Amino acid sequence: MIGQLLRTPFTDLVGVLHPVVQTGMGWVSGPRLVSGTANAGGLGILASATMTFDELEKAIIEVKSRTDAPFGVNLRADAGDAADRCRLLIDYEVKVASFALAPKPELIARLKEHDVVVMPSIGAAKHAKKVAAWGADAVMVQGGEGGGHTGPVPTTLLLPTVLDAVDIPVVAAGGFFDGRGLAAALSYGAAGVGMGTRFLLTQDSAVPDAVKQLYLERGLTDTVVTAKVDGMPHRMLRTDLVEELEETSAVRRMGPTLRRTAAFKRESGMSWTELLKDGREMRKRQGRTLGQMALAANTPMMLKAGLVEGDTTAGVLASGQVVGVIDDLPTCEELVDRVVTQAAAELRRASAYVV
């Protein structure tokens, strides 16, 4: 691992060597990948939305057994047990709480009382202003190039609007894979970058090798944004299954959706009452329609089929557009070292233009 070459408000805030974040990807960001990133000097983030409470506790313990470096946990702010999961972070002294949606002000305050850094992910400047006013320490902003749930605005346009709106550290995500991207983000005024697909395609990722090879074979136009999986825009690899979903009517999708919902209930250990409660919370906080709530359980089970079980005929593969420019599988240490080294070199090169 190389020494610190770039110091930013984010590295100071979190206590990591490098302004590089491995994002919390469901079924992908497990203890091995998170600890690999942490040991490389970046910030690894556990994805807890696809874990039961007990699985999350075990995962935190495993990460702490693998590294002494700071790491984070990504949480669903609208989950029924969000407060209990935050208590886990406090009890085990996890450094960062990352949220896919804005957590309530009282939850932010509770975490900050125990020196946990709060970093929600946001998709618009107004959302960044809201969570900053509530006390968030930093935000991650993902542009439309990113994988998984995404919005329509590219990072190059979204990032400056967020930077103009808040004075807390901003981590840019969506479209980043190398040191040139990190240098560009820092030049915009960001304090670091978040990468998902790039970390998925490392030796430390537990995604099956055959699936990784499928990613490596894809080009820049081989992803698609669809709402047919869970009712929300979701960027993933273009596969035969995704093409079929795009062409299938809502009525024909209902049977498989109900089966996957039942499978998610078994997997999560939740009761039907708890599932309905979570669904109502999604509708209240995200503005989802009844149809979108019915599809919500599709995502974790279809992602598990593809990313864990390697069954691309039954599962989907979340992916950012950067999949089209990735052609290798480095270790986390090799990846972080070269991203940071290249970024420092690019910033030095660009400084020569200043007169």
Q: What are 113-135's pLDDT values in tens digits?
A: 999 999 999 999 999 999 999 99
pLDDT of residue 327: 97
Judgement on whether residues 300 and 332 belong to the same structural domain of the protein: no
Residue 142 belongs to a domain: yes
pLDDT of residue 251: 46
Residue 1 belongs to a domain: no
- List the domain range (segments joined by +) for residue 144: 9-208+327-351
pLDDT of residue 303: 85
Residue 3, classified by CB atoms within 10 Å of its CB into exposed (0-12), middle (13-18) or buried (19+), is exposed
- pLDDT > 60? residue 66: yes
CATH number of domain containing 98: 3.20.20.70
pLDDT of residue 314: 77
pLDDT of residue 323: 98
Judgement on whether residues 95 and 174 belong to the same structural domain of the protein: yes
Judgement on whether residues 156 and 225 belong to the same structural domain of the protein: no
Judgement on whether residues 109 and 56 belong to the same structural domain of the protein: yes
Judgement on whether residues 69 and 166 belong to the same structural domain of the protein: yes
Judgement on whether residues 34 and 158 belong to the same structural domain of the protein: yes
Judgement on whether residues 300 and 186 belong to the same structural domain of the protein: no
Q: Across residues 338-343, what is the average pLDDT?
A: 98
Predicted TM-score of the model (pTM): 0.87
Average pLDDT over the chain, rounded to whole? Answer: 89
Q: Across residues 47-69, what is the average pLDDT?
A: 97
Our count of domains for the chain comes to 2
pLDDT digits (tens, 9 = 90+) for 73-93: 999 998 889 999 999 999 999
Judgement on whether residues 291 and 266 belong to the same structural domain of the protein: yes
- pLDDT > 60? residue 160: yes
